[in-house]
Amino acid sequence: MVDEKRIEELIDKRHETGLSDAEADELGKLFAEKEGKPYSNAKLSKLPPGERGGDVSAAGESASPGQEHPAS
């Protein structure tokens, strides 16, 4: 179950003082969980395949054959 109160806290902090990397990562995970989607962040997407949180192409990379590009 997604912690809606924690999401609200992090969103408020994001707009007020900003989030640490760990808090931004936590917020991303909470949003992904809420939407029932896998989570990945920019740091994970630059790791070699197999070490990523999800199969997301880094900016400037093209998607693998048979894999949709996130911007399409």
Domain assignment present for 66:
no
Can you say whether the dihedral through the CA atoms of 43, 48, 54, 55 is positive or negative?
Answer: positive
**Structurally, how many domains does the chain consist of?**
1
Domain assignment present for 64:
no
Domain assignment of residue 16, given as a range: 4-45
Compute the distance between CA of residue 49 and CA of residue 72 in angstroms, rounded to an integer.
21
Which pLDDT score, from 0 to 100, does residue 57 have?
46
Which pLDDT score, from 0 to 100, does residue 43 have?
72
pTM of the entire predicted model:
0.57
Domain assignment present for 39:
yes
Q: What is the pLDDT of residues 4-58, one digit of tens each?
A: 999 999 999 999 999 999 999 999 999 999 999 988 877 766 656 555 555 444 4
Which pLDDT score, from 0 to 100, does residue 59 have?
47
Domain assignment present for 14:
yes
Domain assignment present for 29:
yes
